[in-house]
Structure 1
């Protein structure tokens, strides 16, 4: 069984969603629910911290694109931070890194 946890924190003008675990077909609802919560505060931007993400499948990528669209529709920007490992590789191979603003700070490998 795959597990993904998502923690939402609110700050002045922005929200941070920290995800940990595996983002796949079984766990995308956790990310989508967290993003809905993050957007409820009407932030200027949302940061998704993926430092503790250990896997991202094709449905996970689809969910990330969905939350990107949701942020744009809500009038805010979305940024991925601490992109590394499997997610970085998948974003590079698919060239989906072009669809996101990605924090240049990388997690040490």
Structure 2
């Protein structure tokens, strides 16, 4: 399977806020897709980036590193990052890794 068959990214803009939805698997093969979508969105300098993980079905160590890298990207661009739709197991893993600051999000825009 191709990476774009394993992970789909959907970007929606609402003024100065971007919602990036991931659907599928976030792993070694697909992390570059998320990185590309996030980098493209951040190039427009949004005030806030919501990353919706409701449709995420799998996340390995590379996916965790990609999420961690995204926190650094948003910090560098002075963009607020909020994750939504975290599966309890992924939330627990992120909590154990002490990377939970952006993982407690408010409700995303419609």
Distance 1:104 1:39, change over 3 A: closer
1:9 aligns with one of 6, 9, 12: 12
What TM-score does the superposition give when structure 1 sets the normalisation length?
A: 0.84
Runs of 5+ unmatched residues, structure 1: none
Cα pair 2:25 2:56 within 8 Å, conserved:
yes
Equivalenced residues, count? 104
Q: Give the Cα separation in 1 of the matches to 2:98 and 2:78.
A: 24
1:25 aligns with one of 16, 25, 28: 28
Where 1:96 maps in the other structure, the secondary structure is coil
What TM-score does the superposition give when structure 2 sets the normalisation length?
A: 0.83
Q: Alpha-carbon deviation of 1:85?
A: 4.4
Cα pair 2:91 2:103 within 8 Å, conserved:
no
